[in-house]
Amino acid sequence: MGVLTRLRSVVDSGADLYECRHCGETFDTDRDECRSCRSTEIAHYEI
């Protein structure tokens, strides 16, 4: 799921969104590394 699709689904809930900057995987909770590609470059979006 892309970040725009994910943002649209959580925009009404006022949630935080985390996304791997390497592969685009999205998470609902903070992570130290991506579960898909193991990158440590995780972006944090406050909605």
pLDDT tens digits, 1-47:
577 776 666 555 567 889 999 999 999 889 899 999 999 999 998 87
Residue 5 token pair:
């699709």
What pLDDT is attached to residue 41?
97
C-beta separation of 45 from 10 below 8 A: no
What pLDDT is attached to residue 36?
95
What pLDDT is attached to residue 46?
84
C-beta separation of 37 from 19 below 8 A: no
3-state class (DSSP) for residue 37? coil
- Total of domains in the chain: 1
What pLDDT is attached to residue 40?
97
User: Which residue range is the domain that position 28 belongs to?
Assistant: 3-46
What is the Cα–Cα distance from 14 to 28, expressed in whole angstroms? 12
